[in-house]
Amino acid sequence: MVALWRQSHGLCQSSCQCSLTSDSIRKYHGTGVAMPEKHLSLIAVPTTAGTGSEVTCVSVLSDHANGKKAPIVSEGFYPAAAIIDPELTYTMPPQVTAGTGIDVLSHAIEGYWSKGHQPICDVLAMHAAELVFKYVYRAYRKPDDEEAREKMCEASLIAGLAFTLPKTTSSHACSFPLTNIYHIPHGEACGLTLDYFIRINAKGEGGERVEEFARRIGFKDAEEMADAVLELKKKMGLRCDLKDLELNDDQIAELVRISRHPNLYNNPVEITDEMLDEMYRYLAGK
């Protein structure tokens, strides 16, 4: 038996989902080929408060040899058991706390506005987002803050439940080229465009849902929520633009092309190449 290892963000390296096959994982990585149904059971032990992998069917893998980072979705990735111990997150460096925390927020917000949204996931998304806004900066500033660490673990798990059925959307679609090409950590790459897409989705078809989400978690409107996301990124030292990369026209065009990931089509507003081009030029300071 050759094991296919699942090493998702937030899972310790000893955790795996093993498939009873001799296939290379590359057969399934971003190809659309379904994973085999038979597999060994997975026990998930998160060491970050980020992806909620312990309650999702999604695994994000990095193929360093081919410069590829992409998700695989499989029913077999749902763990048989998950052990959530906030103390395991105490040693996360502040930047990892910030990046994984903004990923939680992306999961919650994107799961809510996804075309596949549904009532139960909506409630979970609002709960998770409210926790992130309240506790992520505390966890960033004081790593041993027991309450903040516990609440961020709660937010991560709840956000995982909130997005695993509706799926993520625009920010996650754009995160893949940003990570693959420019090595921006996944959560930070998602957060980079999150406030931008909040503003876009609030003004487009279904925008009233985005406005309702913002109000129900304590903001005046979606614009204020987007400002709060931007402010969080600034306070935690996360990327707010791409100016330091000095992107040229060809590099921006490449980002636009690769951002047409399937997740982009879950977004409530149709995101055109022109919109992506405008966004990347704005982030690049052009």
What is the DSSP annotation of 27-89? GTTTT-PPPPS-B---EE-BSSSSS-GGG-SEEEEEEGGGTEEEEEE-GGGS-SEE---GGGG
How much is the pTM? 0.88
Q: Give residue 253's pLDDT.
A: 98
Angstrom distance (rounded) from CA 26 to CA 67: 12
User: What's the rounded Cα separation, in Å, for the pair 31 and 282?
Assistant: 32
List the end-to-end C-alpha distance of the chain, in Å, as a whole number: 53
Two structure tokens written together for 149:
């660490």
Main-chain phi, psi angles of 11, to 5 degrees: -110, 135
Low-confidence ranges of the chain (pLDDT < 70): 1-19
Per-residue model confidence (pLDDT) at position 77? 87
* Per-residue pLDDT at 3: 34
Cα dihedral sign, 31-178-208-213 = positive
Residue 35: the pLDDT is: 86
In sequence order, which residues have a C-beta less than 8 Å from that of residue 250 and are 6 or more positions away?
A: none
CA distance 282 to 66: 29
Question: What is the C-alpha to C-alpha distance for residues 192 and 182, in angstroms, rounded to an integer?
Answer: 13
> Of the candidates 112, 273, 120, 132, which has an alpha carbon nearest to the alpha carbon of residue 202?
112
Rounded to whole angstroms, the Cα distance separating 80 from 180 reads 31
Which is nearest to 233 in space by CA: 242, 245, 241, 244? 241
